[in-house]
């Protein structure tokens, strides 16, 4: 009896342990069916307090021009080149200066106080107070080659500054509309997630009524989870696009701004013949090459001018006397009494190059070779700029067509999704077809946004050749 009792209690204990183990295992298996969904929060750069600033594309370009180190560097170069031009012009004009000197020498002592030991002076004490007017008439001056060379350099610097400005405009345009497109894609991802969750609810209802298989519920569940991940990726891409634009626009990193989404209001392109005329007049790349040829022509003129004579004139007006006064007694002619000290002195000279072992002629040959190279580079630049203009125009034309086609594709994808969902509710399509239609709609909307950004950037690229149109 005791043995039977012990066996009974042992069996009950084993059954209890087995039941507990089975319950724990069921709970462990049931736990993954409803995993915890921690919220994902992206860290954002802190901006200024207050409402966000609304930034248009024109505002964004103006802001970028105030903080871009590369663009401001070209503006500084153009400013310095302008000062060089002013200095070259001023160097051709007469120069005026004033000078005062005292020349003291040792005398012979008592009895001869006015006789100095140095024969270069006419007295022990000599005072000079001159106004000096000087003009050097070198070939560089009367041919104005230095001034013309500086003018060409200034034009090149301004053209490079314009190149930098237009390049900055393309960069800002790309990042500006990149942010606008990222915001649209985030909104599309939110709409896609709502559609996926709605379809998931629909499949569960259909399963409960026996009109759909459990596989459809699983397919809808997977699609909803994938759309959730897509939404998080779209949010990350939007924040990164905002950071990229903030770096271009603000001296301190500030994300407290919004952009105006005007992607749907892009201006049409002019005809190619009109853009070609604009490029011929307003292309800064061609301006650089043309001014380089102008500089080379000036260098040839300067090399030829080196064979011409140089002139110089200097006029001094003032006093050079033994007393610092307008009138005084000349120590060499004391009997004449006080005489006027004011007077002038003029010196003029000419220098003619005679023989330099062929150095000047060698420099002339160098300048002529450089001029021919500059002309070749101008011709090549003209061909390249025309080819690039054709390429940019063709790209903008294709981008314009992509906008129209992608818009139609997005509309067709929306209609396809609506019809597919109706067919699924009527039992004429599968859950896979509905999910595929949802993905197709999201891709079509994103492609349309990308096409609009592509067109905007293509227009900005065209304007680097033609200027704003």
- 264-299 tens-digit pLDDT: 998 889 999 999 999 999 999 999 999 999 999 999
Cα separation, 183 vs 100, in Å, equals 75
Q: What is the pLDDT of residue 5?
A: 39
| 398-434 per-position pLDDT tens digit | 999 999 999 999 999 999 999 999 999 888 999 999 9
Question: Radius of gyration over alpha carbons of the chain, in Å?
Answer: 44
Q: What is the pLDDT of residue 274?
A: 93
Statement: residue 28 has pLDDT above 50: no
Statement: residue 7 has pLDDT above 80: no
Q: What is the pLDDT of residue 330?
A: 74
Name residues whose C-beta falls within 8 Å of residue 96's C-beta, 6 or more positions apart in sequence. 131, 132, 133, 134
**Domains, in order of start, for the chain:** 174-224+261-308+353-466 (1.20.1600.10)
Name residues whose C-beta falls within 8 Å of residue 304's C-beta, 6 or more positions apart in sequence. 364
Query: How confident is the model over 197-215, as a mean pLDDT?
Result: 91
Q: Which residue has the higher pLDDT, 9 or 424?
A: 424
Q: Which residue has the higher pLDDT, 113 or 6?
A: 113
Angle among Cα 334, 340, 343 to the nearest 5 degrees reads 125
Statement: residue 29 has pLDDT above 60: no
Locate the DSSP E strands across 163-260: 257-259
> 114 falls in which pLDDT band (50, 70, 90)?
low
Q: What is the pLDDT of residue 18?
A: 37
Query: How confident is the model over 39-53, as a mean pLDDT?
Result: 63
Statement: residue 126 has pLDDT above 70: yes
Q: What is the pLDDT of residue 240?
A: 97
Statement: residue 2 has pLDDT above 80: no
Name residues whose C-beta falls within 8 Å of residue 388's C-beta, 6 or more positions apart in sequence. 465
Q: Which residues of 216-251 are buried (b: 16+ CB within 10 A; e: fewer)?
A: bbebbbebbebbbebbeebbebbbebbebbbebbbe
Cα separation, 260 vs 155, in Å, equals 36
Query: How confident is the model over 192-206, as a mean pLDDT?
Result: 94
| 211-243 per-position pLDDT tens digit | 888 999 999 999 999 999 999 999 999 999 999
């Amino acid at each position: 009896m005791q043995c039977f009792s012990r066996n009974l209690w042992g069996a009950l204990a084993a059954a209890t342990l087995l039941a507990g183990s089975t319950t724990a295992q069921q709970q462990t298996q049931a736990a993954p069916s409803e995993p915890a969904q921690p919220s994902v929060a992206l860290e954002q750069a802190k901006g200024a307090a207050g409402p966000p600033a609304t930034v248009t594309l024109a505002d964004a370009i103006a802001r970028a021009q105030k903080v871009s180190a590369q663009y401001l560097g070209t503006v500084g170069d153009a400013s310095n080149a302008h000062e060089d031009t002013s200095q070259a012009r001023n160097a051709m004009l007469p120069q005026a200066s004033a000078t005062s000197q005292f020349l003291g020498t040792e005398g012979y002592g008592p009895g001869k106080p006015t006789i100095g030991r140095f024969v270069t002076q006419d007295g022990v004490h000599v005072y000079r107070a001159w106004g000096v007017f000087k003009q050097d008439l070198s070939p560089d001056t009367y041919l104005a080659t230095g001034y013309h060379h500086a003018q060409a350099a200034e034009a090149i610097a301004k053209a490079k500054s314009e190149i930098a400005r237009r390049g900055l405009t393309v960069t800002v345009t790309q990042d500006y509309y990149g942010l606008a497109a990222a915001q649209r894609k985030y909104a599309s991802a939110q709409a896609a997630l709502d559609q996926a969750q709605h379809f998931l609810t629909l499949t569960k209802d259909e399963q409960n009524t026996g009109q759909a298989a459990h596989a459809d519920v699983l397919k809808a569940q997977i699609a909803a989870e994938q759309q959730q991940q897509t939404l998080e990726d779209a949010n990350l891409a939007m924040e990164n696009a905002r950071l990229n634009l903030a770096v271009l626009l603000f001296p301190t990193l500030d994300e407290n701004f919004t952009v105006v989404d005007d992607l749907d209001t892009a201006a049409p392109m002019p005809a190619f013949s009109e853009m070609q005329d604009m490029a011929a007049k307003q292309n800064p790349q061609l301006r650089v090459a043309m001014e380089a040829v102008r500089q080379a022509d000036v260098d040839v003129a300067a090399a030829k001018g080196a064979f011409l004579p140089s002139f110089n004139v200097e006029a001094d007006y003032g006093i050079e006397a033994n007393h610092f006064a307008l009138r005084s007694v000349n120590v060499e002619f004391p009997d004449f009494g006080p005489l006027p000290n004011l007077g002038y002195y003029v010196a003029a000279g000419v220098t003619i190059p005679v023989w330099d072992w062929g150095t000047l002629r060698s420099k002339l040959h160098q300048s002529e070779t450089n001029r021919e190279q500059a002309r070749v580079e101008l011709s090549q630049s003209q061909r390249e700029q025309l080819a690039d203009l054709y390429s940019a125009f063709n790209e903008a034309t294709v981008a314009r067509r992509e906008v129209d086609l992608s818009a139609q594709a997005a509309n067709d994808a929306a209609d396809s999704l609506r019809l597919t969902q109706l067919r699924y509710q009527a039992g004429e399509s599968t859950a896979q077809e509905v999910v595929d239609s949802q993905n197709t709609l999201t891709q079509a909307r994103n492609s349309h946004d990308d096409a609009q950004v592509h067109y905007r950037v293509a227009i900005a690229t065209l304007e680097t050749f033609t200027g704003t149109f």
